[in-house]
Structure formats: structure tokens, C-alpha cells
A and B are shown apart, each in its own frame.
Chain A
Amino acid sequence: MSNLNLPNIERTPGGARVDLVRVAEMVTRGAKVLDVGCGDGELLHLLGETRGVDGRGIELSREGVNKCVAKGLAVIQGDADTDLADYPDDAFDFVILSQTLQATRQPRVVLEHMLRIGRHAIVSFPNFGHWQVRMQLLFAGHMPRTDILPHSWYDTPNIHHCTIKDFRQLCDEVGVKMEKAVALNAWGSPLRFNAPWWFWNLFGEQAVFLLSRTR
């Protein structure tokens, strides 16, 4: 599912994907973590190395799963849309959905499950409200294609695009608490912390949210 190939995404000097580093920074050391749509295990590996977490993963693509298991990661083949229901309440400290939300069939249900299974959820997604996306649609008149949205409209796994504004609205509707949010510009640097939401929605290429239950 999130085995999204993102060859052009920014990396740190250490070689880690910047968005994954931002996600990792939100995870408490030694926590129990479920990475939903873990791809080839890059984030799980990073979390193991830098945060010492007890990490598990679910991945839709068979190649991704087999790569992860061969690396010694605890990953199962499964579908975020159907298989999260099988996990018991409070099984994890953090449930992470990295660059996968827009590829799920029922983003709202997935989000609700994440916060049932885990005490915290971390969601990162490409912001469809980014000015480049808007410009492509407005002036070029075609479906936007960017470094983090590289697919054509006919072969994209991303079926539920949303903007930062949309996602905040969903969080309100579901009744989750936004503990932290970071928007990253095209170079992977966080935008000014005190910038207003409309600024993030326009200039953030992707966003990372740390969420928790209200109750």
C-alpha cells in the first residue's frame, strides 16, 4: 500500500527520508509501535535504530513484506482497510500511517481504528492544497504530479487526496486531539512554527500530525 516509490523525496545527510525523520522524532523512546503500510521497512528500521522501539508492521505488497521479514523486522502481509479491525484495543503506544492515508479506501475508519489500537497516532500525508498542486490544476489544467505525488491519474494508488485543512476537519469530526503538527516545505524543512494554518495549507508540501484520543 504505502510501498509508494518516492525516489525524489528529500533525504538527510545520513540518508534517511526527511518525512520519516520527522515522524520518528514524535515517537517516545522504547515505545511499542505499529507502522501501517510500512513499505520496505525503512521507517521501522529507523525507529529501531534511533528510538529503540518495539516495532511491528503491516504492508499490503508482498515484495515489501518479504523484504521486511528478510531484514528481521516483524511485519505481516495485510490491508489497512480490513486488517486493523483484528487488533485489540490499546495494543500499541503509537500507530503510524506514513504516506498511506490517501491510498486507503476508508480514511476515516482507518483513523478511528488507529486511535483505538494505539494511544497515539501519527499520520503523514502529501498536502493536496500545496500551491504547486493548485497551480497545475488551475493553469496547466491536468491532474497534479509532483515529487511526492509522482503517479498519473490512471495508475495512482492515491484515491483519497486531502489538504491539511481537510485533515484537520476530519480530526475534529472524529474527535481526536492534535498534539503536534508539522508541515514540511518542498525541501523537507519544517515551516515556521507560528505560521497560520492557511500558510501551512498553501506552502506545506506534506504534513505530519501527532494525534491522541480526546477521551
Chain B
Amino acid sequence: MVEASVTSLRDAADAPRDADHPRDSLIATFGADKPLALDAGVELSPFQIAYKTYGTLNAERSNAVLVCHALTGDQHVGNVHPVTGKSGWWETLLGPGKPIDTDRYFVICPNVVGGCMGTTGPASTNPKTGKPWGLDFPVLTIRDMVRAQAMLLDHLGIDTLFAAVGGSMGGMQVLQWAASFPKRVFAALPIACATRHSAQNIAFHEVGRQAIMADPEWRGGRYHLEGTNPRRGLAVARMGAHITYLSDAALHRKFGRKFQDRENPTFSFDADFEVESYLRYQGSSFVERFDANSYLYLTRAMDYFDLAADAGGVLANAFKGAPTRFCVISFTSDWLFPTSESRAIVHALNASSARVSFAEIVTDKGHDAFLLEEPEMFGIVRGFLDGASKARGLR
């Protein structure tokens, strides 16, 4: 179990504050005249989107790059995170002179709907009650997230994205963009993702959700109102999920069977092994920056993702006639979104005669590789965007 004595940087009571008033972010608000129509059949209104931008929008408004974040990411892709103090989650890939070159492109990174870093989600205040939404918040889909992002682009006066880029859940959003708004995306770069969430992945998510809901502090999702926080449940969910982001080889290389600060086993359930201590740290640091209900909603959105089902069962139809050019990237040791899933995307794109590139990167770092320094991936991202920018006539 996670140490109960971890000093909290941030309390459950702080979460709604961050959810409504994010630090170091831009906010677009959408009033009663601009509701977000959700797949669940209800409307979310009013709502807000917290986002960050990097670089400058050109006069033609043609150099915008949308970066879509993963399950537990947020809008702070290229700057020091205001809550954790850590550098931006894709700062190696994005910045001046980097593959996603902010000297050339105008990068927009919004927090997804259902998130907890300033875009409206279950930790935000429900305007009808003046209290956090909790489980009264409607269940979301990836398509809802993308629809909200399209509204943000309208708000910014950007008709067509030069590129949409993202990994994992971010990659799902990129694919959804190409399927929902093909004419608004010139180039799409889905990384380490799939067109549907597999049974195994839904199963892992369910374990995470059950861990949260089994925490007595969860209080049926009303913990914000009752002054509790299901930190143990959320930490266990994170620990389990974190294993799926790595690989057997990476764990072995990093930790092996090494003991944590001791010579011998203690014959107890203390964190004897380094890998245990590492996971406990991952769990306990995660709860400082993430809302448990948000975790429930976002994992659910990923579970529901199935582009083929939306296109009458034929995946190729999801991309039919899409003018978008694609670059699909997978990693050899990713068992959460294995290469076979990326191949399915590529086959569908070929069948719809889309312009597609596909590369598989050799790495033992698992799913997390998309967030790490991977020179081969960086070369491909740079080459693909360069080629696309020539075709787009960008300078």
C-alpha cells in the first residue's frame, strides 16, 4: 500500500480550485449559446477549455499544430508544470528548433474535456449547484473531446490545422480528428495508439476504476463535498496502469530484483524491492496532480473509442476520401498499443487510398517510449512535418 504519511502538495479541496481556475493557462469559455453536444445525448453548457499556445500564428493562419495529450497529460506540453514543477511532457520533442518547431508552427495544446487541469470536468464547479460536478458529470467520448477542440479552433479563428499530433489517448484524438473533420486537418500524426480500445486495455482500465471506487474515501464520487480524497485508490490505479506503460525488459533493466536501501529482505510487506518503491512513488506523486473522478471519466472515454463501429463496422470508411496525410508510429515493445493495432490503422488508410507513412521504432521502453527521447522517432516526426509543410506551402 502507498505510504499514508506522504505530505500532500495539494489537497482534495484544492482540486476544484485548479479545475476552475488553472494556473499558467489560457481559458476559452463557451456560454449558453455555444453548448457542447455530447455523444451521451446531453449538452454540456456552459463549459471552458484551458489551453497553452507556443509560437506565433502566421498571417494566413495556416501553421497551427494541435497537440493532443494522453490520459494523464495536460496542456503543459512545453513548459514547466505549475503543479509538479517538472518540465513539459513533450519538451524534448517540441520547442524552438525541435521536431515540432515552435519557431515555425503555432502549437495549441488544450486540456481535454473531462480533465482536471482547467477544462470543464467532474472536478469543476457545476453551475447549477455551485458544487463540484462529481458523478453528475456526463460520461464522455473521444469524439466529444475532439468536438470541443474544434470549438476552440473556431474560437481562435483557425479553420484548418496544419497538423494534429498525439500519442496514446492523444493519438486516438488525432485519428478522431481525421475521421470527424477530415478537411480541417492537413497532416495527422497518431503515435502509439489504436482505432479501438482492446478488451485487454478495457480490462486494465476497469481494474483502475475499481481500485478508486473501492477506496472508502471515494464516497460514491462525492469526496470533494465530504472533504475526503480517494488517494489510495487512485494511487493503486496509477501503479497498475504504470506497469502497462513499461515493458518486462525495461523494468528488468531499470530495477531487476534489486533491494531498496537494504542488503537483505525484511520478511515483511515493506517495499523491499526497488521496483515496489518506484511504483509507490509513481502512485503517490500522481494523486497530487490528478482528480480521481477525472480518471474514471477519461478511462471510460478511451474504452468507448471504436472508429470502425462509428463507420458502420468498416474501418476504412472512417477515413473515406480523407485528404489528410498520415504518419503512424508504433514501438516494438509497446504491449498496450502493439504494432498490430497501428498496422490496422495503416491497412484502413491504404484501403481508403489515403497518403500514409508508417514506421515502427525499435525500443524496449514500452508504451512510454512515445514520451521519451527516441532519436529515430524525432527524425521521423521532423521529416514528416517538413515534407507536409512543403506540400502546405509553409515557410
Contact = CB atoms under 8 A, between A and B. Distances in A.
B387 A73 contact: yes
Interface stretch (B58-66, B202-210, B344-352): B344-352
A51 B312 CA distance: 39
B358 A66 contact: no
Contacts of A75: 357-358
Contact of A71 (B351, B360, B362, B387): B387
Contacts of B353: 88, 91
A70 B379 CA distance: 6
Interface in B324-368: 325, 327-328, 346-347, 350-351, 353, 355-362
A76 B351 contact: no
Nearest to B362: A62
A208 interface: no
Contacts of B384: 69-70, 72
Contacts of A71: 383, 387
Contact of B380 (A56, A66, A74, A76): A66
B360 A77 contact: yes
Given A62-B360, A77-B360, A86-B350, A72 B383 contact: yes
A69 B346 CA distance: 14
B325 A74 contact: yes
A75 B387 CA distance: 12
Interface in A148-191: none
Nearest to A91: B353
Interface residues of B, number: 26
Contacts of A69: 327, 357-359, 380, 383-384
In the complex, which of the residues A56, A71, A74, A87 has the most CB atoms of chain B within 10 Å of its own CB atom? A74
A114 interface: no
B314 to A, nearest CB: 12
A65 interface: yes
A48 B361 CA distance: 26
A70 B350 contact: no
Contacts of B328: 76
B376 interface: yes
Given A70-B379, A72-B390, A87 B327 contact: no
Contacts of B327: 69
A86 B356 CA distance: 14
Nearest to B377: A66
Residue among B327, B358, B362, B379 having the largest count of chain A Cβ atoms under 10 Å: B358
A56 B383 contact: no
Interface string A47-63: 00000001010000010
B359 A66 contact: yes
A32 to B, nearest CB: 8
Contacts of A86: 347, 350-351
B359 A74 contact: no
Name the residue among A56, A65, A69, A73 with the largest chain B CB count within 10 angstroms: A69
A49 B328 CA distance: 25
B358 A76 contact: yes
A73 B384 CA distance: 8
13 contacts: A66-B376, A69-B359, A70-B380, A72-B384, A72-B386, A72-B388, A74-B355, A76-B346, A86-B347, A86-B350, A86-B351, A87-B351, A88-B353
Given A69-B380, A72-B383, A76-B358, 14 more contacts: A66-B359, A69-B359, A73-B357, A73-B387, A75-B357, A75-B358, A76-B350, A76-B356, A76-B357, A77-B360, A86-B347, A87-B350, A88-B351, A91-B353
Interface of B: 325, 327-328, 346-347, 350-351, 353, 355-362, 376, 379-380, 382-384, 386-388, 390
